Amino acid sequence: MARPSDVSLRYPTFVVIGAMRSGTTSFHALLRSHPEVFMSPIKGPGLFVDPTEAIRYPSKYESLAEKRGNRSDAELLAELARDRSEEKHFGEATDLYTRFPAVRSDVPGKMLRYNPGMKLIYLVRHPVKRILSQFRFERTKPLNPLPGRLAEYLRFSPDALSTSRYYLQLSRFLAAGFRREQVHIIVFEELVRDPRRQLERVCRFLDISFVGPALFPHLNATPPSARQDSKNGLSRSQLKKLDSLLRPDVHRLEDFVGRRIDIWSLG
């Protein structure tokens, strides 16, 4: 196997940029099993976020800095790549990269400074269902006590709505200089339905051999105890309003990928 270039040896060659609660942990594990891919041993390291930015981190950590072990960028990068050998690709996955404006760091610019040829993989999920999943997930985290009803949560955490505006998030990367051919979109529901087909497309995108058959591992799922009624107290009119707020962004994303995402069936 050919030795990677100096740039790809030092920095990630691709990044899974999110979205939160869209299968990024499972996809990280799936890619990690590929012989031509070295995935960061730390899921969600936030390498391209400004380490001084104060971020409410929905997990067992008080902050992203704590999760990084208070390492500098150089120290963190060395830790992420420590066991890499001859793999063609070096990847990492952090869903914070598509949580603007909650995360205000210049993530796209920092990525391009590290590696102008970097590729992006963006997992997206039915935008309303993704919000429901985020709500349930964050309520299980002891460091992030949240309101018990979804309507209250949306007022408390507008980040949930902006994270489901996928084209809004993606537009920051395009504006920074990422080209269309550097971006690959995966629809979570299509990945679950036919992981083999989706993985074949990812392998073509990364120019690596297809290794199958692919089984999609379901990791980091919301605990059953946190799965409540799908509406979580939202009325029909509130759900319709949420749908209408997200629909224009979905249409822009569809224009970007060049097709309708029929599996979402937005109202």
Q: How confident is the model at residue 231 (pLDDT cuts 50, 70, 90)?
A: very low
CA–CA separation, 91 vs 16, rounded Å?
A: 8
CA–CA separation, 206 vs 234, rounded Å?
A: 41
Domain ranges of the chain: 7-264
- Nearest 5°: CA angle at 13, between 9 and 14? 150
Q: How far is CA 69 from CA 65, 199, 204, 233, in A?
A: 6, 32, 35, 39
Residues whose CB is less than 8 angstroms from the CB of residue 206 and which lie 6 or more positions away in sequence, other chains included:
14, 36, 37, 88, 89, 119
Q: What is the mean pLDDT of residues 1-17?
A: 66
Q: How confident is the model at residue 154 (pLDDT cuts 50, 70, 90)?
A: confident
pLDDT at 267: 53
The architecture of the domain spanning 7-264 is 3-Layer(aba) Sandwich (3.40)
Question: Does the pLDDT value for residue 4 go beyond 80?
Answer: no
Q: How far is CA 262 from CA 68, 141, 180, 221, in A?
A: 39, 33, 22, 24
Q: Phi and psi (nearest 5°) for 89?
A: -120, 150
Q: How confident is the model at residue 143 (pLDDT cuts 50, 70, 90)?
A: low
Nearest by Cα to 216 from 232, 205, 204, 202: 202
pLDDT at 136: 85
Q: What is the mean pLDDT of residues 98-118?
A: 95
